[in-house]
Each structure stands twice: as structure tokens, then as C-alpha cells.
Amino acid sequence: MYHSLISSLINNDGGFATVWRKALVDLDSLTEDEEVRFFAFASALFRFFEASHVQWRRGQLDDEHWRSIEQQALIAAAQPGLRGFWAIRRNWHCEAFQLWFESLPAVEAGQLYNKLQPNKPRQTKTGHGSERRD
């Protein structure tokens, strides 16, 4: 579901890139239709993070793969628009995921798509704020 949603939103409609860029900075800048599109995508993104977190905690996802997902979540957590989404929709996620996501260390938001100033999160230990159950 996650990959097909991304494909349809980004590949089939070039206008979504504009919605995404605007939303990352300021949710209030979106029209009602843009907000629906952003929330649909952000919901899928957070479901991917949550499912990966659950799989990692259960030993079904290797540490190397988990670290790359965790780094993406760190950068996502720094984006004002995704923080706004989280404030509205956090209750859609399990308590363990809420605690993990909210325990991520703060990183500078930066501009995700500026090649000259890449956003590099701080190094974190694997599974920040969570215990893996093997």
C-alpha cells in the first residue's frame, strides 16, 4: 500500500511535489484539497514507520535496515509540517510507537531537497527509545 500510494501521488501527478514542499514548511499554507492529499501521504509514511518499528522490536527487521528507517524518521520529525500532522494524528498510532517517535532527539529541520545543504541527523543508537525483543 505504501509504495503504491507514493507512486500514484508522485509519479502520476507532478503537482504533489508542490503540495509536499509547502506542507513540510507550513500546514496552514495548504488549501483544503492539498491538506487532504498531504494527510493521506503522511498517514502512509507514518504507518510505514510504525510497521517497521513493530517489526524491528519483534526481531523481524534487521538492525541495518532499521537504522536507515530510523534516520528517515529523525529527519521527518524535524519538519514543521510533519510535526503538525503528528500533533493532529498521533492518536492513530500505538502507544509504543508514540513513545518512540516522541523520544527522537531534535535535529535541525533544514531543507530536505536542497542539494547544497543536506539535512544530516545526529548519530543515534539503534532503536532510540525502544527495546528490541528477540
Nearest to 72 by CA among 115, 40, 117, 104: 104
- Rounded to whole angstroms, the maximal C-alpha distance in the chain is 46
Spans of all domains in the chain: 39-103
- Assess whether pLDDT exceeds 60 at residue 2: no
pLDDT for 81 equals 94
pLDDT for 57 equals 95
The answer to pTM > 0.85 is no
- Assess whether pLDDT exceeds 90 at residue 39: yes
**How many other C-beta atoms lie within 10 A of the C-beta of residue 29?**
13
pLDDT for 44-96, tens place per residue?
999 999 999 999 999 999 999 999 999 889 988 989 999 999 999 999 999 99
pLDDT for 98-118, tens place per residue?
999 999 887 765 555 555 445
